[in-house]
Amino acid sequence: MNFFEHQRAAKGTTLKLVLLFGAAVLALVAAINAAAVIALVYLTKDYGGIDASSILAVVIVVTAITLLVIAGGTLFKTISLRQGGTAVAAAVGAVPVDPTTTDPQLRRYVNIVEEMSLASGVPAPRLFVMPGEPGINAFAAGFTPADAAIAVTGGALAQLNRDELQGVIAHEFSHILNGDMRLNIRLIGLLSGILLIGMIGLRLLQFGGRGSDSKRALPLVAFAFAMMVLGYVGVFFANVIKAAVARQREWLADASAVQFTRQTDGLEGALKKIGGIPTGSRLRNSRNAAEVSHMLFGEGARRSFTSLFATHPPLTDRIRALNPSFDPREIAELQQRYANQAPDGLAEDVAAGFAPAGTALGRPTLAPEQPANPGWHTSPEQVVSRAGTFTSDDLKYGAALHARIPDDVRKLASQPTTAPAAVIALLLEPSSGGLHVRQLASVNEHLGPTQAREAAALADRMRALPPELRLPVVALALPQIATHSRAEQDALITVLNALAVADEKVTMFEYCLTRLVSNYVLDTNDPARRSKVGSGSLTGVRPVVTTLLATLAVAGGADQNVAAQSLDIALQRLYGDNARPENPRRLSWQQTLDEGWAALDALDPRAKQALVEAMVEAVLHDGTVTAAEAELLRAACGLMHVPLPALLG
């Protein structure tokens, strides 16, 4: 199942869940109505009983109130999590990690995540740690990759070696790339709405019996008791549904982690350590841990007496799926070993040669030369099959790219205070001309003199970066830009657009940078709305598709005939043998694309897959791939929320 099929499947799973929860809510409403009618009949039996019209009125009122309570509880919880991954991480008491940290455990964590980000084509997620948790666990949360957060326990950082931590992070990246995070947040909201019924019943039970007329209070107490019981019964079945969905997604994430890293030792070792250490994967101190149980890498609490509530497959089953020769007695041996001394992940890294003794950063030794490209000599279908995933070659490529980014540049991009200036500096012209002065005046006008001075100081350093490192640096800077206020983000976007058009022409890199930053800001400020799977068709977007494919065809610098042939072939792939290019040039190519990105993003997953294949066809047809082509292809995929691995080498 590829990325686009995952999107369609996730949409279908969401619909099934809505129907299941809808059925549970209807059953709950019916049961509460029955309890209310019984209580009412009991209260009125001494006064001649109650007529059918009154019963109907009670049913209507109770139904309306119950639905409002459930909807209100769901809406309140969903709104509280509207900011995505950061809100979920904060809810369990996780603290943010500074991407420029020099702490050996945290540095290793940051390196692994940033390498996977560059390998997969998604912005680096924001990182959190649960420092008071000695168990080994982690989770990914958010609506889109742009607002994603990854949190790990302090126990995972301390006790896992680099391969094992990489396996756990790869598992969490699978949840990001497969669209599981949005589903997980929806589950939290739905459960909160149903739970609220039980909580209200409990409150009514506590206070409803107070009064002098115990006979009249009895039916009210019985009704409150019924509400409480029915509410918690509803939660029971909702948790069963949640657990079943979670177990399925965990199997998929384990398989994806192996696909990403092309080795099972890391993930298998992490699972074995969970079985071996006394604390396992349990969360002891985190607030609201039960709410995120279905998001976690391992069970967050002691395994339930029944497998119906288990949000994860049995640990031994997960290990055996990775290694069929696994003997469960190994867990008992590890328990004896770790009872005396907990595992030390950094020490294991040093022994394995990942880092020299004394530094223990857990960073693999990489050749300083430019990494080989992992995949342009292939077909469009093969390239598109890598969307929303990555291979071990991509991971090596991402690690090599990460290693090639100079430490000072990576630090500039990884700090909230300097990230905007670093991105601005990528668009500044050389300081020797008058254009540079006008650009700095624009920065000063919108962001102030401090940002103007900092950007000017970084201009030569940032412009010296090789072309294949520019967008990766932007990808590292995006999460830091997201920490600024919306007003500051809007001002930055205004400045970037002004710098791009300052010389009255827009290069491919300038266009890609400005649109990626703008799109990321939109995603982070409204992740719930921006993460919906579309249903549009290619028929209504043909003019903008023609412009996009034409722009890709000419970006390689080939002669006009070759570019026209590339466009024809790409259009034929989408619209058939009789396809002819439409002339969309009522506006510039930039303006046409800007008006069309929302419609392209709203395409049905199958249509989106076909479009990306046509885009790759337009790029590959002439047999070469330029920096401009690679940047526009990856940016276009990013604007359509299709993560594509780094392909420029």
Please list the active-site residues.
172
Q: What is the DSSP string of 298-310?
A: S-SSSPPSSGGG-
Which residues lie below 8 Å from residue 557, measured CB to CB, with a gap of 6+? 626, 628
Across the strands, what pairs with 296?
139
307 burial class (0-12, 13-18, 19+ CB within 10 angstroms)? exposed
CB of 634 within 8 A of CB of 511?
no
Helix (H, G, I), strand (E, B) or coil at 130: strand
Q: How far apart are CA 298 and CA 168, in angstroms?
A: 10
Among the listed residues 97, 177, 100, 98, the one whose alpha carbon sits nearest the alpha carbon of residue 405: 100
Contact 510, 579 (CB under 8 A): no
Output the CA–CA distances (angstroms, integers) from residue 589 to 150, 503, 551, 629, in the order listed: 37, 17, 7, 15
575 vs 149, 549, 610, 637, CA distance in Å? 39, 13, 10, 20
d(CA 109, CA 165): 8
| Cβ-contact 242, 187 below 8 angstroms | yes
CA distance 516 to 241: 37
Residue 623 falls in which region: left (phi positive, over 0), alpha (psi -120 to 50) or beta:
left
Which of 247, 257, 417 is CA-nearest to residue 315?
247
Q: Which residues does 604 contact at the CB level (< 8 Å), separation at least 6? A: 8, 534, 535, 536, 537
How far apart are the C-alpha atoms of 612 and 607, rounded to whole Å?
Answer: 9
- 3-state class (DSSP) for residue 574: helix
Distance CA 405, CA 110 (A): 14
Q: What is the DSSP letter of 123?
A: P
